[in-house]
């Protein structure tokens, strides 16, 4: 039984929600998003909240129940507040800068890395060692941050590389004489 799925998703003022069959659309101050709910789950807009319920008690329907409710909640948060991921860059000479629609990364390689910023995503570098990825789609924001981190993930000996803000890097002890 899903504990997440039981709770209806409240639609705050300033956000308009429409449910057309299995399609849920949200429109707010930040933009517009939509989500196609799986057929095993029914979705209803009532009393200013979106309710999600499974059509039957099969294992797949119950599995998609909580997922669908979480996706709808992400739509509401995305169009009203948006999402943001912060990345920190550690290492001598490691830095990042935004030039137009390209993020330029210097991560200790013989060449700079040019990362093309996807549509719907905003990347800002308040400091050369800090990258802020923001947007209204939680999946796109997380995927973009993961792709940037993947260029040089944090290593366990000196902690050099790109890591999420607040991420704990398990440090290893180096060789001893």
Tell me: the pLDDT tens digits for 32-54?
Answer: 999 999 999 999 988 889 999 99
Average pLDDT taken over every residue of the chain: 91
Do residues 145 and 130 lie in contact, with contact meaning Cβ atoms separated by under 8 Å?
A: no
Question: What pLDDT score was predicted for residue 2?
Answer: 62
What residues have CB less than 8 Å from 136, skipping those under 6 apart?
Answer: 30, 31, 33, 78, 79, 82, 83, 120
Instruction: Provide the pairing of β-strand 41-46 with 49-54.
Output: antiparallel
pTM here is 0.87
Average pLDDT of the segment spanning 113-137: 94
- Go through the chain and tell me how many residues it has: 177
Q: In what order do the strands lie in the sheet with 23-27?
A: 16-20, 23-27, 32-36
The percent of residues above 70 in pLDDT, for the chain, comes to 99
Domains and CATH numbers, the chain: 3-80 (3.90.930.12), 83-164 (3.90.930.12)
């Amino acid at each position: 039984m899903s504990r997440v799925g039981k709770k209806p998703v409240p639609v705050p003022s300033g956000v308009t929600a429409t449910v057309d069959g299995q399609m849920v659309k949200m429109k707010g101050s930040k933009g517009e998003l939509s989500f196609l709910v799986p057929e095993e789950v029914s979705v209803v807009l009532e009393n200013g909240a979106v309710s999600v319920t499974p059509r039957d008690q099969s294992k797949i329907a119950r599995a998609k129940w909580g997922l669908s409710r979480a996706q709808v909640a992400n739509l509401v948060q995305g169009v009203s507040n948006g999402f943001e991921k912060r990345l920190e860059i550690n290492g001598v000479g490691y830095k990042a800068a935004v030039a137009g629609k390209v993020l330029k990364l210097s991560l200790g390689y013989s060449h700079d890395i040019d990362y093309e910023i996807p549509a719907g995503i905003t990347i800002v570098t308040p400091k050369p060692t800090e990258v802020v990825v923001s947007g209204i789609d939680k999946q796109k924001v997380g995927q973009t941050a993961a792709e940037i981190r993947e260029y040089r993930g944090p290593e366990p000996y000196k902690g050099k590389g790109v890591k999420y803000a607040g991420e704990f890097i398990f440090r290893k002890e180096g060789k001893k004489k």
